[in-house]
Amino acid sequence: MDKIETFIVLSECKSFTDTAKRLYCSQPTISNHIQQLEELFNATLFHRSGKTVQLTKQGEVLLEYAKQITKLIEDASLQMKNISRQDSNLSIYVSNYIAGYFFSDILQHFHHVYPKQLLEIYTQCYDDLIRSLREGKTNFAFLPLYPEDEYIRAEFDITVLFEEDFLLVLPVGHSWTNRKVIYCRDLHNENILLPQSLYLQQYISAQLEQQRVKVRFLQMSNFEMIKQAVKSELGIAFLPSQSVVEDINNGKLITRAVSSLSIKRKNGYVTRKHTLLNSIETAFCKDVQQYFHGKKRSLTM
């Protein structure tokens, strides 16, 4: 594998010197690795021209297989990590939103059924969850589902747990308080507060653009910060129903319907394709599914 790695890096750098620097080894080591590969395959893999090299046709063939070999090794490593976790702690990777508004009840119920099972809970923003999946830290995660995320669609099986409405949230003293319905044209030139999530920003802005609504977007860190900003009359926002239901019931915020505008988001969990979860991971996912199955009606308002 060291020789295969050297070959791949040299094909990218096109220089023995740069390859040695990148792999933190000597130039003779690079030359020796390539020589051994050429002897093994009885082929010339590179054309030498001064200080640079170019792949031969035979080298191009080996490069394709070398990349496949590297990918297979990475897949094998992920599978073995999955097996090694079977008798250890159960690690759960979950979005800040789902963990903050739903996991208290879920964890309480799971602990009642599996009192001896140790849990490790990692709450992260969407981008960090994707990074954890890419790095192989976990084979499954609970997170918002965005159709635009091609990496998730290509590499993972998706299970939808629930879909919820995003409500237009206003401060209590807003001029629209006495109106039952808001029209899209009313939103013109309003300050709309958005979270840092790039996918969510794009989705909400696209929905408003379809209605030909021109607004000013202001970025906030998360839903909780947005709620505080709305209460301070810094703007208005579209927020998931579960995040504002308590504030609405307590009279700290108000919500109004917007005619012809419906913003929804799906949430669920993803599992790496061609990877089997162990028994306790599967049990946890089923427990979460049952929880949201009983809660679906209250999530769409």
Tell me what pLDDT residue 298 has.
Answer: 55
Tell me what pLDDT residue 233 has.
Answer: 95
Residue 189 pLDDT exceeds 90 = yes
Backbone angles phi, psi at 32, to 5 degrees: -65, -40
- pLDDT tens digit sequence for 105-138: 999 999 999 998 999 999 999 999 999 999 999 9
* Residue range 183-192: mean pLDDT, rounded: 94
* Residue range 18-47: mean pLDDT, rounded: 94
How many helices and strands (H and E) does the chain possess?
Answer: 11, 12
Residue 275 pLDDT exceeds 80 = yes
- Percentage of the chain beyond pLDDT 70 is 96
Name the more confident of 157 and 74.
157
Residue 141 pLDDT level (bands cut at 50, 70, 90): very high
Q: How far apart are the first and last CA of the chain?
A: 56
Residue 264 pLDDT exceeds 60 = yes
Residue 199 pLDDT level (bands cut at 50, 70, 90): confident
Residue 88 pLDDT exceeds 80 = no
Do 299 and 162 form a contact (C-beta atoms < 8 A)? yes
- Six-digit token pair at 133? 């999946």
* Residue range 247-254: mean pLDDT, rounded: 95
Backbone angles phi, psi at 63, to 5 degrees: -60, -45
- Give the whole-angstrom CA distance, residue 139 versus residue 269: 10
| Strands annotated E in the chain | 46-49, 52-55, 90-95, 119-124, 140-145, 156-171, 181-183, 191-194, 216-219, 236-240, 253-259, 264-272
Report the candidate in 125, 255, 265 with the shortest Cα–Cα distance to residue 195.
125
The residues near 87 (Cβ < 8 Å, ≥ 6 apart) are none
Do 217 and 198 form a contact (C-beta atoms < 8 A)? no
Domains annotated on the chain, with CATH: 2-79 (1.10.10.10), 90-157+271-299 (3.40.190.10), 163-265 (3.40.190.10)
Question: What integer best gives the mean pLDDT of the chain?
Answer: 91
Tell me what pLDDT residue 301 has.
Answer: 47
- Give the whole-angstrom CA distance, residue 277 versus residue 285: 10
- Percentage of the chain beyond pLDDT 90 is 82
- pLDDT tens digit sequence for 16-31: 999 999 999 999 999 9
Q: Has this prediction a pTM greater than 0.75?
A: no
* Residue range 277-301: mean pLDDT, rounded: 82
Tell me what pLDDT residue 181 has.
Answer: 86
- Give the whole-angstrom CA distance, residue 171 versus residue 229: 9
The residues near 77 (Cβ < 8 Å, ≥ 6 apart) are 136
Tell me what pLDDT residue 299 has.
Answer: 57
For 13-39, give the DSSP string.
Answer: H--HHHHHHHHTS-HHHHHHHHHHHHH
- Give the whole-angstrom CA distance, residue 188 versus residue 14: 55
